[in-house]
Amino acid sequence: MTRDGWESASQDVPKTADLVVIGAGVVGAAAAWFATLAGLRVVVVDRGAIAGGTSGAGEGNVLVSDKEPGPELELARYSRRVWGEDLGPYGERWEFERKGGLVVASTSAALDALRTLAERQRASGVDVREVSGAELHALEPRLTREAAGAALYPQDAQVQPMLAAAHLLRLARQRGAVVRTGTEVVGLLRRGGRAGFSAASGGRAGFPGASGGRTGFPAASGAGGAGAPVTPVGGAGAPVTGVRTPHGTISASAVLNAAGTWAGAVAGLAGVELPVLPRRGFVLVTEPLPPATVRHKVYAADYVDAVASSDAELQASPVVEGTGGGTVLIGSTRERVGFDRRPSPAAVRALARGAIGLFPMLASVRAMRVYAGFRPYCPDHLPVIGPDPRAPGLWHACGHEGAGIGLAAGTGKLIAQALTGEATDLDLTPFAPERFEEGGADEPRGE
């Protein structure tokens, strides 16, 4: 353990825990933090570094503007409150910025479609205001003069995701959590397996083992709605009672799969299927520009359709935003090509072309670099959150696709509530891990 509370690559691992979190990205870090606040003994393991996967390749979006009404929008609104309220005192540590989002329509038809979406979002509690073409340039002076209009979303925000993951884990460590990087989970302990692979004992008073215990810390799913604790479901397989690593085993009452694009492989260790697939995206980074060159998160109205698309082929829609350091981040592309990190000239050209369409002055700005990341994609575009009745003791917090940074805070708090038997603030049923076996999970779950 290091003196300042950062992660350790020490070879030793604790023998027991209340909760083992697999994955040190923002989602895993948020879950670890809220679980420690609830009094649980938490161990976080990752085969790489903190934020070494999707979290380290994201733009840090905390958005409500890009979501259709439905379960994901409700989770986004909830998570935005958690970022601003529960985590508000620490916001400066991860550069939390309430910059607002500006969704730009290039044609009258696109503006009509944007108005329709905005009205539906407004009915769901989103703060959204229409902006005329004439008003746009007071908000974004360098924006194209060709825009037909826009919608302003004041609730949209941004964080620096690597800082968020690192500081959330640092806060968790200061409350007793253990973080082990360079520690791969190579297997899951199951009840009925080899001797010594039983659930951990100890922990805070009343915290049960993997087989259950006091009502409210179940081994399986069945959340009935906001205000209802998660309750057990019968007919499950052998309980998960911990993890196996090259440095030793950790017996635990619960194991949380927060492994991002590798979540399907982690679920496979328990013999259950979770269709989380990588969806590649590129980000173009410009040279530093003067402050407030781009003032908001600015994107084209068709970005919402690109987010909701399930196409495997290249999808591109311009997203432009500034950073505190002056660089401008340009997205976004989506394509399913496995874990292929090779540069794509077609994707980079699409990024540059789209960004210049929104901000013509970018045509004379130099790009410093381009990098790729992989979004953890689910076929119905909803994350997987909660206990898995097919493998009691195994929990999931994954599959958030490109919204994982924004949804992380809410996901972490909901997981901690469910783990400790509290009534969850949102109904977890739409996010249930077993939904893919029931059919009907192939399309987005909007209203």
Residue 61 three-state SS: strand
Residue 203 in this model has a pLDDT that exceeds 60: no
Local structure of residue 97 (DSSP, 8 states): B
Tokens of 259: 């492994």
Q: How confident is the model at residue 221, as a pLDDT?
A: 34
Alpha carbon dihedral 334, 336, 341, 347, in 10-degree steps, equals -40
**In the Cβ-directed half-sphere of 230, how many Cα atoms lie within 13 Å?**
32
Q: Do 15 and 180 meet the contact criterion of CB atoms below 8 Å apart?
A: no
Backbone angles phi, psi at 147, to 5 degrees: -65, 140
Crossing angle of the two packed helices 404-419 and 161-174, in degrees rounded to 10 = 20
Name residue, tokens 């038997």: 421
3-class SS string, 335-394: ECECECCCCCHHHHHHHHHHHHHHCHHHHHCCEEEEEEEEEEECCCCCCEEEECCCCCCE
What's the start-to-end Cα distance of the chain, in Å?
48
Average pLDDT over residues 332-353: 93
240-286, pLDDT tens digit by residue? Answer: 999 999 999 999 999 999 999 999 999 999 999 999 999 999 999 99
Residue 218 in this model has a pLDDT that exceeds 50: no
Residue 56 in this model has a pLDDT that exceeds 50: yes
Q: How confident is the model at residue 439, as a pLDDT?
A: 55
Angle at 134 between CA 130 and CA 139, to 5 degrees: 70
Backbone angles phi, psi at 173, to 5 degrees: -65, -35
Mean pLDDT across the chain, nearest whole number? 87
How far is the C-alpha of 285 from the C-alpha of 296, rounded, in Å?
Answer: 16
- Residue 198's CB: how many other CB atoms inside 10 A? 17
Q: How confident is the model at residue 193, as a pLDDT?
A: 56
Tokens of 66: 């890009």
Residue 273 three-state SS: coil
175-202, pLDDT tens digit by residue? Answer: 999 999 999 999 999 987 532 233 333 3
Residue 235 in this model has a pLDDT that exceeds 80: no
Q: Do 50 and 285 meet the contact criterion of CB atoms below 8 Å apart?
A: no
Sign of the C-alpha dihedral, residues 262, 267, 269, 273?
negative
Beta strands, E only, 154-270: 157-158, 178-180, 187-190, 240-245, 248-257
Alpha carbon dihedral 184, 186, 1, 204, in 10-degree steps, equals 130
